[in-house]
A and B are shown apart, each in its own frame.
Chain A
Amino acid sequence: MPHSSQPPADVGRYAYDAVDRTFLKQRVEQFRDQVQRRISGALSEDEFKPLRLMNGLYLQLHAYMLRVAIPYGIVSANQMRTLAHIARRYDRGYGHFTTRQNIQFNWIRLEDTPDILNILADAEMHAIQTSGNCIRNVTSDQFAGAARDEVLDPRVHAEILRQWSTLHPEFTFLPRKFKIAISGSAQDRVAARFHDIGLLARMGENGRAVFEVYVGGGLGRTPVVGVKLRDDLPEEDLIAYLEAVLRIYNAYGRRDNIYKARIKILVQALGLGAFRDEVNAEFMAMDRSRYRLQPEVVAAIRARFASPVFEDASAASAQLVAQTKADPAFAAWVNINTHPHQQDGYCSVTISCKPAGGIPGDVTSAQMDLLADMADQYSFGELRITHLQNVVLGHVRKDNLFALWQALSAKGLGTANVGMITDIIACPGLDYCALANARSIPIAQKLSQRFSNAALQQEIGALRLNISGCINACGHHHAGHIGILGVDKRGEEAFQITLGGNSGEDASIGQIIGSAMSEDETVDAIARIVDTYLVQRKPGERFIETCRRLGAAPFKDAAYATA
């Protein structure tokens, strides 16, 4: 079968060949058969459940939810149009970007799923391992291949990990799910310390990557900051070493209690030293040559990624300066929503999916089509979904920003709030999710509305506000500077506030400041917490810094102060 006859087509994304396409089609037919066996009764729901989960299909409160994989967050314009089509035809005209850079459709019929997966396969997409107790979709830096501070493009290694973990025969029935994030920049934009495995790549000798390996991080019921397992993992041992970690986990991770089954619990139970000894013993015992990642293999994968061909944009910066001077609202958006690029005259743009009063991460089919068109026009047909539930255009000429901003603003995608208090992460909550205690969406909308004033947001500055509808923490509330946790208080929805979480190099876990309050009380309490910050901060101090300097006490007093 030919496998390299055509050159890679899409910028930033691994181009499938005939073998990859054959595999996906076979996978679709396998699932079609499993659905048939479920409908006929040959498979019990208990037996079908892990099979459908391995294809991203959940049974939620009102319907099936399909979670489609967006490997390391990269999607082409045409793939985005496919997602828009699926939302329009099989859902209610919208999709929801998740904190793992995937997209979820919330109103799916079981009998439609094989056809949907087939449509996805035609676009070189799938829902494999977006759920289940397996190695999940590998996440990466939303500015990969573009950021000025990048050392190496992590997407090549993310793709290698994606392929290696796909239908892995040994690691598909793990004690619990397993999440890997990889960054190619010293600045950790992937929350590496909140993953089962976090990889921070740097350039080693001879132009070959070296990895710092973090293990045992995670949120959920037991939030833990990951610990460094290895400082200097050579590229050639990347797969072998991960095999060793996964084997120790598969053999010894707890299976008697799903809330104690993640690798973080095993690392804590054994202690880091003993866990490392186990991994090293396994690593030494295995036939490493079998798993060795040779430079030519990395090069072959890299060659399947098309690179953007940049133009001379030396005049672009000057034009942008003139445009920002003429339009303060545009200037604010440029200031807040763009990120420095490796290439002069270019930048990366974060398109906020968090309009005032909106539902974080929800995007309509029409908006998806617009995003695809913008990517085609301004960013080499490539888009990225971020773990903060926004969309990034990686490579935009600075003299195209004004036209882009106008087009986005016309469809509600021009909000200038990236990294601000209304750039809220929220899980789907009790509106959709069978696990939730409380609705995340209405309180997110109220907070978004409350702080929607652009000047006020800029006055407040960088502030991460994360909302989870239950203790499982899909909204990463522990990692928010301010976190909100939905709880059940004697049959009523209520919310606890956490303070002091952070997900970067100085990762920390937010702590609960007191008893739960109603939705409206919580919104008011957060407004008072923010006011306290504005009064107490030193010049140039971000919210998280003030919070760390003062501790929780003044904020707690403010939160529970009743006028």
Chain B
Amino acid sequence: MPLLENGQIVQDGWTLVQDDQPLPEGDILLPLSRLSEGLGRNGKGRLGIVLKPDERVSDLKEALPRLDLVSLNFPIFRDGRAFTQARSLREHLHFAGAVRVTGHFLPDQYEFLLRCGVSQLVIPEQSDLAVWHQAHERITVAYQPSVLNERPEGFAFRRFLSS
């Protein structure tokens, strides 16, 4: 499925490894249960972890400096737990790697995702990129701080979003 990053469709070089598969070479995404195995892996590739909505971000705290990607999931677009997970990764744990979302979310949530610190979105095949761009550009004002540290404007927590 297409991977949206910085407004562009980019190549996804990561391999998602299931629970019982042997670890391949290259950049791999593992479930949280295989974190220590991944950290102990010999070889060159980068390591990412898939966090389920009910798993705690704080469980990654020790390992985060050695991770390049954390992948979060929306079982359905109404289930907003990934917003909190993403923001905790950025704001509490100062994670500087990629934060990816998969599953069911809408273009109308794009700006919220970005402002919570999500940097990569796995979007459906045949997605119209124009709809996503529009969702990002339509609203230029926000009323609360975010991990993107937008430029404050006038009163209270108001700020301008960058497009």
Residues of chain A whose beta carbon lies under 8 Å from any beta carbon of chain B: 1, 3-4, 17, 19-20, 22-23, 26-27, 29-30, 33-34, 42, 47, 50-51, 133, 160, 163-174, 239, 247, 250-251, 255, 285-287, 290-291, 297, 300-301, 304
Indicate if the CB atoms of A47 and B77 lie closer than 8 Å.
yes
Indicate if the CB atoms of B146 and A169 lie closer than 8 Å.
yes
Indicate if the CB atoms of A170 and B158 lie closer than 8 Å.
no
Chain B residue with the shortest CB-CB distance to A17: B154
A168 to B92, CA, bound (A): 18
Per-residue interface assignment for chain B, residues 99 to 122, with 1 indicating a CB less than 8 Å from any chain A CB and 0 otherwise: 000000010110111011000000
Task: Classify chain B: how many residues form its interface, as a range.
Answer: 35 or more
A26 to B140, CA, bound (A): 8
Cβ-closest 9 pairs across A and B: A173-B80, A169-B115, A3-B154, A169-B112, A23-B141, A163-B143, A170-B83, A166-B143, A250-B84
Chain B residue with the shortest CB-CB distance to A163: B143
Indicate if the CB atoms of B108 and A160 lie closer than 8 Å.
no
B32 to A: closest C-beta gap in Å: 16
Q: Given A22-B141, A30-B138, A169-B115, list of 10 further CB < 8 A pairs? A: A26-B138, A26-B139, A29-B138, A33-B138, A47-B106, A50-B77, A51-B108, A133-B80, A167-B143, A173-B109
| B19 / chain A contacts, CB cutoff of 8 Å | none
Indicate if the CB atoms of B91 and A19 lie closer than 8 Å.
no
5 contacts between A and B (CB under 8 A): A19-B154, A163-B157, A164-B143, A169-B83, A169-B144
Asked whether A239 and B108 contact (CB < 8 A) given A26-B139, A250-B84, A286-B91, the answer is: no
**Residues B75-93 near A (CB distance < 8 A):** 77-81, 83-85, 87-88, 91-92
Indicate if the CB atoms of B144 and A34 lie closer than 8 Å.
no
**Residues B107-163 near A (CB distance < 8 A):** 108-109, 111-113, 115-116, 131, 134, 138-146, 153-158
Indicate if the CB atoms of B141 and A19 lie closer than 8 Å.
yes
Asked whether A291 and B134 contact (CB < 8 A) given A34-B108, A297-B155, the answer is: no
Indicate if the CB atoms of A164 and B144 lie closer than 8 Å.
yes
Indicate if the CB atoms of A300 and B115 lie closer than 8 Å.
no
| B156 / chain A contacts, CB cutoff of 8 Å | 160, 163-164, 297, 300-301
| A255 / chain B contacts, CB cutoff of 8 Å | 79, 81
Indicate if the CB atoms of B138 and A170 lie closer than 8 Å.
no
In this complex, the member of A19, A26, A27, A160 whose beta carbon has the largest number of chain B beta carbons within 10 angstroms is: A19
| A163 / chain B contacts, CB cutoff of 8 Å | 143-144, 155-158
| B112 / chain A contacts, CB cutoff of 8 Å | 167, 169-170, 172
B102 to A: closest C-beta gap in Å: 16
Indicate if the CB atoms of B138 and A251 lie closer than 8 Å.
no
Secondary structure type dominating chain B contacts: loop
Residue of A23, A170, A301, A304 touching B139 (CB-CB under 8 A): A23
| A51 / chain B contacts, CB cutoff of 8 Å | 106, 108
In this complex, the member of A34, A255, A300 whose beta carbon has the largest number of chain B beta carbons within 10 angstroms is: A255
| A251 / chain B contacts, CB cutoff of 8 Å | 81, 84-85
A3 to B151, CA, bound (A): 15
A173 to B113, CA, bound (A): 11
In this complex, the member of B79, B112, B153 whose beta carbon has the largest number of chain A beta carbons within 10 angstroms is: B112
Indicate if the CB atoms of A300 and B155 lie closer than 8 Å.
yes
Indicate if the CB atoms of A239 and B157 lie closer than 8 Å.
yes
Chain A residue with the shortest CB-CB distance to B88: A247
A165 to B155, CA, bound (A): 14
Asked whether A250 and B141 contact (CB < 8 A) given A3-B155, A160-B156, A170-B87, the answer is: no
A297 to B153, CA, bound (A): 12
| A47 / chain B contacts, CB cutoff of 8 Å | 77, 106
A42 to B77, CA, bound (A): 16
| A247 / chain B contacts, CB cutoff of 8 Å | 84, 87-88
Indicate if the CB atoms of A30 and B139 lie closer than 8 Å.
yes
Asked whether A285 and B134 contact (CB < 8 A) given A19-B141, A26-B139, A169-B83, the answer is: no
A21 to B: closest C-beta gap in Å: 10
| B145 / chain A contacts, CB cutoff of 8 Å | 290-291
| B84 / chain A contacts, CB cutoff of 8 Å | 170, 247, 250-251
Indicate if the CB atoms of A173 and B153 lie closer than 8 Å.
no
Residue of B78, B141, B158 touching A26 (CB-CB under 8 A): B141
Residue of B116, B140, B155 touching A304 (CB-CB under 8 A): B155
| A19 / chain B contacts, CB cutoff of 8 Å | 141, 153-154, 158
Residue of B80, B92, B141 touching A172 (CB-CB under 8 A): B80
Indicate if the CB atoms of A250 and B83 lie closer than 8 Å.
yes
A539 to B112, CA, bound (A): 59
Chain B residue with the shortest CB-CB distance to A168: B144
A4 to B106, CA, bound (A): 36
| A170 / chain B contacts, CB cutoff of 8 Å | 80, 83-84, 87, 112, 116
| B81 / chain A contacts, CB cutoff of 8 Å | 250-251, 255
| A30 / chain B contacts, CB cutoff of 8 Å | 108, 138-139
A72 to B: closest C-beta gap in Å: 15
In this complex, the member of B79, B146, B157 whose beta carbon has the largest number of chain A beta carbons within 10 angstroms is: B157
A333 to B21, CA, bound (A): 79
Chain A residue with the shortest CB-CB distance to B135: A30
Indicate if the CB atoms of B139 and A4 lie closer than 8 Å.
no
| A17 / chain B contacts, CB cutoff of 8 Å | 154
A377 to B106, CA, bound (A): 49
Chain B residue with the shortest CB-CB distance to A253: B81
A17 to B156, CA, bound (A): 13
Indicate if the CB atoms of B78 and A133 lie closer than 8 Å.
yes
In this complex, the member of B112, B141, B142 whose beta carbon has the largest number of chain A beta carbons within 10 angstroms is: B141
B20 to A: closest C-beta gap in Å: 27
A297 to B106, CA, bound (A): 34
A20 to B111, CA, bound (A): 18
A3 to B158, CA, bound (A): 11
A247 to B91, CA, bound (A): 12
Indicate if the CB atoms of A173 and B77 lie closer than 8 Å.
yes
A22 to B84, CA, bound (A): 28
Indicate if the CB atoms of A4 and B157 lie closer than 8 Å.
no
| B134 / chain A contacts, CB cutoff of 8 Å | 33
In this complex, the member of A133, A167, A174 whose beta carbon has the largest number of chain B beta carbons within 10 angstroms is: A167
Asked whether A174 and B143 contact (CB < 8 A) given A51-B108, A300-B155, the answer is: no
Chain A residue with the shortest CB-CB distance to B154: A3
| A301 / chain B contacts, CB cutoff of 8 Å | 155-156
Chain B residue with the shortest CB-CB distance to A37: B131
B100 to A: closest C-beta gap in Å: 17
A22 to B161, CA, bound (A): 13
